[in-house]
């Protein structure tokens, strides 16, 4: 068998990862009451052979709990719940970051806790409908445009989420700047039509992402903070425009200067989304001076090839991890992969999760 760069260790912000396989963040909606639990600890513990697990989108704010049963990381109960998860992964000699996801306009009051607000850069509803446990499918409501005070509060919530993540035993955090959630809502003109310093020019539209990254780095050290982005993504109503390349290059430069530990690129073309041009992936790789993660539709052969040619430092696998907790071993030996059951991606309970 040819050499497999996937299985060479790599340093990430002062910790050693035993291989270059990242488990991509995946929302699985098992956190009843938005609190992580033993079932989740078992699920992540079973996958500790990954070089790095990025735990599912987790809200740093009550306002960011837009989907049913997603976890938070702002209350003491949530921090305690996450501690079980990080202990299970560390017991398996794994490493784990948590993805901080504020859903912004992608939510519904029926999913939010009492008193929480649906917030976004501008009062523009996301297109389409969202699942609620109490009212079934519902059209996305129009969010409230964030005031200066709302923006400052959200940035501080991200910073506190970082501190809570470290308290819960995580090795670091991934800021979710992709897929049409709050940070991406600021980047994209489809959801950001502000005419103040948070909207309009490229510099203004990246400001929220950069300020969140700065606050996160100040809170726990840049060596423990990565960011995920999705240039050319169209999920949750995002739309590329003539400035997309320039905006992401500028953002990557800023994040590189802050010394974020990694930049993680989403590509959902294998899920039917438009192709993400290789030119932008290559350009961002050049501009961002720290670790670089590619994802989307990878198998071992393509991952090894992209690592060998230096297109990235690590490769993230999403769906393959769902039905194959032993994915790392299967990739190593070339064993066939089981197909995940989409019907249990977001359902509560162990079926399709820890029971496969
Ligand atoms: C069930 C499911 C949940 C997901 N949840 C998230 C999430 O919380 N945050 C995120 O950044 N991406 C999320 N994704 C996207 C994955 O991280 C990954 O980018 C995508 O599955 C493509 O990689 P793959 O072809 O290896 O599956 C999710 C994907 C799936 C299938």
* pLDDT mean by block of 10 residues, the chain; 356 residues: 87 98 98 98 98 99 98 98 98 98 98 98 98 97 98 99 99 98 98 98 98 99 98 98 98 98 98 96 98 98 98 98 98 97 97 97
Q: How far apart are CA 257 and CA 266, in angstroms?
A: 21
Binding site membership of 180 for ligand 1 (Cβ less than 6 Å): no
Rounded Cα gap, residues 191 and 202, in angstroms: 14
Ligand 1 mutation pick, 22, 23, 24, 102, max ligand atoms within 8 A of CB: 24
Residue closest to 262 by CA, chosen among 300, 302, 315, 305: 315
Q: Residue 211's pLDDT is what?
A: 99
Q: Which one is catalytic: 67, 181, 232, 298?
A: 181
Q: How far, in Å, is the centroid of ligand 1 from the Cα of 271?
A: 10
What is the C-alpha separation between 22 and 133, in angstroms, rounded?
31
Pocket lining: 319 vs ligand 1, CB cutoff 6 Å:
yes
- Nearest-atom index, ligand 1, CA of 228: 11
d(CA 295, CA 111): 29
Cβ–ligand 1 contact at 106 (below 6 Å): no
Do residues 54 and 23 make contact, with C-beta atoms less than 8 angstroms apart? yes
- Gap from CA of 197 to ligand 1 centroid (Å): 32
DSSP 355: B
> Which residue ranges make up each domain of the chain?
5-344
Joined together, the tokens standing for residue 88 give: 């299970």
CA of 297 to the centre of ligand 1 (A): 10
Say if residues 284 and 294 touch (Cβ distance below 8 Å).
no
In angstroms, the Cα distances linking 156 to 191, 197, 246, 264, 284 are 22, 18, 28, 23, 28
Q: DSSP secondary structure string, 49-111?
A: TSSEEEEEEEBSSGGG--STT--BSSSHHHHHHHHHHHHHHHHTT--EEEEE---TTS--TTT
Report CA(147)–ligand 1 centroid distance (Å). Answer: 31
Whole-number Å distance, alpha carbon 84 to ligand 1 midpoint, is 23
- 228 in helix, strand or coil? strand
DSSP 8-state assignment for residue 221: -
State which ligand 1 atom lies nearest to the alpha carbon of 268. 22
295 lines ligand 1 (CB under 6 A): yes
Longest Cα separation, the chain: 58
Query: Measuring from atom 21 of ligand 1, which residue has the nearest CA?
Result: 318
- DSSP 8-state code for residue 279: H
Considering just the CA atoms, what is the radius of gyration of the chain in Å?
19
Q: Which residue has the tokens 């989108």?
A: 57
Measure 318 CA to ligand 1 centroid, in angstroms. 5
Ligand 1 pocket member 270 (CB < 6 A): yes
The verdict on whether 353 is a catalytic residue reads no
The number of angstroms, rounded, from the C-alpha of 287 to the middle of its chain's C-alpha atoms is 21
Kindly give the distance from the C-alpha atom of residue 149 to the centroid of ligand 1, in angstroms, as a whole number.
32
Which CATH number applies to 5-344? 3.20.20.70
* Any atom of ligand 1 within 6 Å of the Cβ of 266: yes
84 Cβ inside 6 Å of ligand 1: no
Q: Which atom of ligand 1 is nearest to the CA of 174?
A: 11
Pairing of strands 21-23, 119-120: unpaired
Nearest to 266 by CA among 254, 248, 250, 253: 248
Q: Is the CB of residue 158 below 6 angstroms from any atom belonging to ligand 1? A: no
Pocket mutation for ligand 1, best pick of 318, 324, 331 (most atoms within 8 Å of C-beta): 318
CA distances from 180 to 222, 277, 326 (A): 24, 19, 31
Distance CA 279, CA 219 (A): 34
Asked whether 297 lines ligand 1 (CB < 6 A), one says yes
The ligand 1 atom nearest the CA atom of 266:
19
């Amino acid at each position: 068998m040819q050499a497999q760069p996937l299985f060479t260790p790599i340093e990430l912000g002062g910790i050693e990862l035993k291989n270059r396989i990242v488990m991509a963040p995946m929302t699985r909606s098992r956190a009843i009451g938005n609190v992580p639990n033993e079932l989740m600890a078992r699920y992540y513990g079973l996958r500790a052979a990954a070089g790095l697990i990025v735990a599912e989108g987790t809200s740093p704010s009550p306002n960011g709990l837009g989907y049913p049963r997603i976890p938070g990381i702002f209350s003491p109960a949530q921090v305690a719940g996450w501690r079980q998860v990080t202990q299970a992964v560390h017991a398996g000699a794994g490493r784990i970051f948590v993805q901080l996801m504020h859903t912004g306009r992608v939510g519904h009051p029926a999913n939010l806790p009492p008193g929480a607000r649906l917030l976004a850069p501008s009062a523009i509803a996301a297109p389409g409908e969202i699942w609620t446990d109490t009212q079934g499918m519902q059209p996305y409501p129009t969010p409230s445009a964030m005031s200066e005070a709302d923006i400052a509060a959200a940035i501080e919530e991200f910073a506190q989420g970082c501190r809570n993540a470290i308290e819960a035993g995580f090795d670091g955090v991934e800021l979710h700047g992709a897929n049409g959630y709050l940070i991406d809502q600021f980047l994209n003109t489809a959801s950001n039509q502000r005419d103040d310093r948070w909207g309009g020019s490229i510099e203004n539209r990246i400001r929220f992402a950069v300020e969140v990254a700065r606050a996160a780095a100040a809170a726990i050290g840049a060596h423990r903070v990565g960011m995920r982005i999705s240039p050319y993504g169209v999920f949750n109503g995002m739309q590329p425009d003539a400035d997309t390349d320039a905006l992401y290059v500028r953002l990557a430069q800023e994040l590189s200067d802050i010394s974020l530990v990694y930049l993680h690129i989403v590509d959902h073309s294998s899920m039917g989304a438009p192709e993400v041009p290789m030119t932008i992936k290559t350009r961002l790789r050049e501009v961002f001076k720290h670790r670089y993660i590619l994802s989307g539709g990878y198998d071992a052969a393509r991952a090894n090839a992209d690592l060998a040619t230096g297109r990235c430092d690590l490769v993230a696998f999403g769906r393959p991890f769902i039905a194959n907790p032993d994915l790392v071993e299967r990739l190593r030996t070339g064993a066939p992969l089981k197909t995940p059951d989409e019907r249990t991606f977001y359902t509560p309970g162990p079926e399709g999760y820890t029971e496969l």
